[in-house]
């Protein structure tokens, strides 16, 4: 970006940007679209209780080429977690629950792997990522879209997930616990999670275009909604929407910039609606936006931050002496970012229809820097160079694997034979995975996640690579077979071939054993 946002952005009118400032921000967003190959981006800024920017750029779908606007609906993904926490706070204010209540009080059948933890886990633990489950552990029960497991199945299967860390010791981002929290809301209120969010939060707040889930938006015959997009073989293409209804409490909301601006205003106005109704008391707000579990902060960082961690449904940090409340969200083909600096009455929202986190970081950081009075740091150039290096690393990782695989195809005598590995394997929490010979190709299919299927190709004497049919996943994995003394597979372990793979493809948590 050649021109920088003027320091005058700090002196912005309550009602609108000056023309020159708005044009510079427009230019930045257009350049961001091009640099990171994002079809569409919408951006909102709220300052001092007023919307000062609300625009869409590019197209909402490469199939239709219809314009992306500030009214275009986007899956906000994990930005939904703040709504889940707010819903629990509302119920707490009504005296129907307490954040320190045990989960078993409301879901008696709930169990974790450890009997002690099962009895001790609280609602607060569910929404602070501190219950012991690892990063993305268990996500394959609802990710990618199209799985067969219900919310009750997921709650039952949590007992089979062996925690990666001790209870309340580490912040490891986890969606499954938010699904459990959503079921608490359902059982206490009698409403589904989506119904509660729409009726008790969105409607009073004035988010008239938003929905608690993708299916509810489609049922309402919504037209102005994005297609998701992802890079496939070096080209960004439209891909199917990806979110199971079972995961709504962790990331199901569909919204747009206009409504997310209203959400930001509501939150920074003390969780008070425009007609003066306070939905959450200050007692509960203190819990939501108070640090519950901390994570390390680098000694040198762009905003001189001194702390970082998670509250209830929100990430928390400090930027240049100001408290920041924020979250991001990501689905296959969609990423979003929501940032509040409450003492500055500043909210920044970025919604996209591609999965480049660098794009939303460029826009958010540039706007934030302008309000903080910082010199232009050319985030577009910085992130562009950074991502070029990262993507080159990932591309090399994948190329090296498939190059080795091609060479190993010549080693016919050393390759795994189909009769050694065909059959059904099972994992306690994920279910059955089958390997079968179809024509001359070995195929792997996941029974409870039907879209997760692909071809097995030779890699080394005991290892094959699963190449998923849906190339937008970018999640090909090593399949390491454990053989008995007769050369027959007794089990298998999976591991992504590249660091590009999203953590929700938690293959490494699977322990697949061959069925007799």
Q: Tell me the fold of 7-377.
A: Beta-lactamase (3.40.710)
Query: 317's torsion region: left (phi>0), alpha (psi -120 to 50) or beta?
Result: beta
Nearest Cα neighbor of 470 from 459, 455, 480, 457 is 455
> What is the spatial distance between Cα 188 and Cα 88, in angstroms, rounded to a whole number?
10
Residue 104 predicted with pLDDT over 80: yes
Look at residue 79 in the predicted model and tell me its pLDDT.
98
Residue 51 predicted with pLDDT over 90: yes
> What band does 9 get if pLDDT is binned at 50, 70 and 90?
very low
Residue 145 predicted with pLDDT over 90: no
DSSP strand E in 244-380: where?
254-255, 293-294, 308-310, 315-319, 322-331, 334-341, 346-352
Residue 20 predicted with pLDDT over 60: no
Average of per-residue pLDDT across 376-402:
96
For residues 166, 171, 175 and 179, what is the CA-based torsion angle, rounded to 10 degrees? Answer: 70
Q: pLDDT for 429-469, tens place per residue?
A: 999 999 999 999 999 999 999 999 999 999 999 999 999 99
- Residue 269 structure tokens: 């106005």
CB 174 within 8 A of CB 134: yes
Residue 85 predicted with pLDDT over 90: yes
The angle subtended at Cα 297 by Cα 389 and Cα 311, nearest 5°, is: 110
Q: pLDDT for 150-159, tens place per residue?
A: 999 999 999 9
CB 474 within 8 A of CB 501: yes
pLDDT above 70: percentage of residues in the chain: 96
Residue 12 predicted with pLDDT over 70: no
For the entire predicted model, the pTM comes to 0.93
> What is the spatial distance between Cα 357 and Cα 394, in angstroms, rounded to a whole number?
16
> What is the spatial distance between Cα 151 and Cα 157, in angstroms, rounded to a whole number?
10
Tell me the average pLDDT of the chain.
94
What is the residue-wise DSSP string for 453-470?
Answer: EEEEEEEETTEEEEEES-
Look at residue 146 in the predicted model and tell me its pLDDT.
83
Look at residue 6 in the predicted model and tell me its pLDDT.
37
For residues 78, 79, 80 and 83, what is the CA-based torsion angle, rounded to 10 degrees? Answer: 140
Q: pLDDT for 123-143, tens place per residue?
A: 999 999 999 999 999 999 999
> What is the spatial distance between Cα 339 and Cα 322, in angstroms, rounded to a whole number?
12
Look at residue 197 in the predicted model and tell me its pLDDT.
98
Q: Tell me the fold of 393-514.
A: Lipocalin (2.40.128)
Residue 360 predicted with pLDDT over 50: yes
Q: For residue 493, which phi and psi values (nearest 5 degrees)?
A: -125, 145
Cis status of the peptide bond prior to 144, with omega within 30 of 0? yes
Burial class (CB in 10 A: 0-12, 13-18, 19+), 303: middle
Residue 5 predicted with pLDDT over 90: no
Look at residue 138 in the predicted model and tell me its pLDDT.
96
C-alpha to C-alpha distances, 264 to 206, 334, 340, 351, 421, nearest whole angstrom: 12, 20, 7, 14, 53
> What is the spatial distance between Cα 172 and Cα 363, in angstroms, rounded to a whole number?
27
3-state secondary structure of 447: coil
Look at residue 516 in the predicted model and tell me its pLDDT.
79
Look at residue 241 in the predicted model and tell me its pLDDT.
83
What is the residue-wise DSSP string for 7-74?
Answer: GGGGG--SS---HHHHHHHHHHHHHHHHHHT-SEEEEEEEETTEEEEEEEEEBS-TTT-PBP-TT-BE
Q: pLDDT for 177-195, tens place per residue?
A: 999 999 999 999 999 999 9
Residue 380 vs residue 19, higher pLDDT: 380
Domain spans in the chain, listed from the N-terminal domain onward: 7-377, 393-514
Average of per-residue pLDDT across 42-53:
96
Buried b (16+ CB within 10 A) or exposed e, 248-274: bbbbbbbbbbbbbbbbbbbbbeebbbe
CB 261 within 8 A of CB 46: yes
């Amino acid at each position: 970006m050649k021109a920088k946002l003027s320091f005058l952005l700090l002196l912005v009118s309550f009602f609108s940007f000056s023309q020159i400032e708005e044009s510079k921000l427009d230019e930045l967003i257009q350049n961001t679209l091009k640099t990171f190959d994002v079809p569409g981006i919408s951006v909102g800024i709220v300052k001092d209780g007023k919307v000062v920017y609300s625009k869409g750029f590019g197209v909402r779908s490469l199939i239709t080429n219809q314009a992306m606007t500030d009214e275009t609906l986007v899956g906000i993904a994990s930005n939904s977690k703040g709504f889940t926490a707010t819903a629990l706070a509302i119920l707490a204010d009504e005296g129907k629950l307490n954040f320190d209540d045990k989960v078993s009080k409301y879901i008696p059948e709930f169990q974790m792997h450890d009997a002690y933890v099962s009895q001790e886990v609280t609602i607060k633990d569910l929404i602070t990522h501190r219950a012991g489950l690892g990063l993305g552990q268990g996500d394959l029960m609802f990710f990618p879209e199209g799985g067969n497991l219900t919310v009750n199945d997921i709650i039952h299967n949590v007992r089979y997930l062996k925690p990666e860390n001790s209870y309340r010791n580490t912040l490891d981002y986890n969606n499954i616990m938010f699904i459990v929290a959503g079921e608490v809301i359902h059982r206490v209120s009698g409403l589904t999670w989506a119904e509660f969010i729409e009726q008790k939060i969105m409607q009073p707040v004035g988010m008239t275009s938003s929905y608690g889930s993708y299916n509810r938006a489609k049922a309402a015959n919504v037209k102005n909604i994005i297609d998701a997009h992802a890079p496939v073989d070096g080209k960004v293409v439209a891909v199917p929407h990806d979110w199971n209804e079972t995961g709504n409490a962790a990331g199901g909301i569909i919204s747009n910039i206009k409504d997310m601006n209203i959400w930001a205003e509501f939150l920074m106005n003390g969780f008070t609606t425009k007609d003066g109704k306070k939905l959450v008391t200050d007692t509960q707000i203190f819990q939501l936006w108070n640090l519950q579990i901390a994570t390390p902060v680098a000694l040198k960082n762009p905003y001189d931050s001194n702390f970082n961690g998670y509250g209830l449904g929100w990430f928390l940090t400090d930027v240049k002496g100001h408290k920041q409340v924020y979250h991001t969200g990501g689905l296959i083909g969609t990423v979003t970012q929501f940032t509040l600096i409450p003492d500055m009455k500043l909210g920044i929202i970025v919604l996209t229809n591609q999965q480049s986190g660098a794009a939303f970081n460029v826009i958010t950081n540039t706007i934030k820097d302008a309000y903080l009075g910082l010199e232009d740091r050319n985030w577009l150039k910085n992130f562009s160079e950074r991502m070029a290096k990262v993507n080159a690393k990932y591309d090399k990782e994948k190329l090296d694997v498939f190059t080795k695989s091609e060479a190993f195809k010549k080693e016919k005598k050393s390759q795994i034979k189909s009769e050694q590995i065909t059959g059904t394997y099972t994992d306690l929490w994920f279910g059955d995975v089958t390997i079968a010979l179809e024509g001359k190709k070995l195929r792997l299919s996941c029974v409870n996640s039907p879209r997760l299927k692909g071809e097995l190709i030779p890699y080394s004497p005991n290892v094959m690579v699963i190449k998923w049919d849906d190339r937008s996943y970018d999640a090909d994995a090593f399949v390491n077979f454990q053989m008995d003394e007769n050369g027959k597979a007794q089990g298998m372990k999976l591991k992504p071939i590249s660091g590009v793979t999203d953590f929700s493809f938690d293959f490494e948590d699977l322990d697949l054993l061959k069925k007799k």
